[in-house]
Amino acid sequence: MPATQAAAVAHQVTNLAQLEELYGIPKQTSLDKEICYISTQYKAFIEAAPFFALSTVSHEGTDCSPRGDPAGFVKVIDGKTIEFPDRRGNNRIDSLRNIVEDPRVSLLFLIPGVGETIRVNGTATISTDPARLEAHIMDGKPPKSIITVTVQTIYFQCQKAIFRSALWNEETKVDRKTLPTAGQMVQSLSKEDFDGDAYDKAYPGRIKETAY
């Protein structure tokens, strides 16, 4: 075995005992903040969030999908239940495929300008109940389905990650022109002829027409 590979293996953390020795015992407050129901305070954060990341899993692996709408689009039904619409996308439906196979999900809620995030773990179901679809109509259009999550654990994450990343700071915003465009990325990867420039030029109008 090459020396560099041997060194890498020697420094791998492979069991819980190693992890606990490395990081120590969590503070009691870090444990107390995790509960199995949606408290009034946690409800306020969920309802103020216009964005969250949805993590799902299946036998093929894991997936993480961005979800966003005006704040309040995630509805707190009761102390154990939230629901949100599945809006129009690219029809890959990776998250929905995974939920059908394995209902376990995790959600991470972000609120612009706020350092704390909310983490939810639970199980999900997919519904096409017309009454529930109607509750999530935007621009006169209902979603194709509703995802309901039964909360198993919920807790807030402190501000450290947002503070270190300076995520909400105006000074750290990246000029979009410094990165590849969507059209350029698709064109470089497409197995078919694809005009990336035309795609980019049409996108501002298309997103307004297809967001819902």
Q: Which helix (H) or strand (E) holds 157?
A: strand 145-157
Strands across the sheet with 81-86, in order? 61-68, 51-58, 104-110, 117-127, 145-157, 81-86, 75-78
Mean pLDDT in order along the chain per 10 residues (212 residues): 74 94 94 98 98 97 97 98 96 97 98 98 98 95 97 98 97 96 97 96 94 93
Note the pLDDT of residue 6: 74
Strand 61-68, strand 117-127: pairing: unpaired
DSSP readout, 96-107?
A: HHHHHH--EEEE
What's the angle, vertex CA 108, arms to CA 112 and CA 35, rounded to 5?
A: 115
Note the pLDDT of residue 111: 98
Residue 131 near residue 68, CB atoms below 8 Å: no
What's the angle, vertex CA 77, arms to CA 161 and CA 45, rounded to 5?
A: 25
Cβ-count burial of 80 within 10 angstroms (0-12 exposed, 13-18 middle, 19+ buried)? Answer: middle
Residue 74 near residue 54, CB atoms below 8 Å: no
> Position 190: which residue type?
S
**Is the full-model pTM beyond 0.95?**
no
Note the pLDDT of residue 159: 97
Of 50, 85, 48, the C-alpha closest to 70 is 50
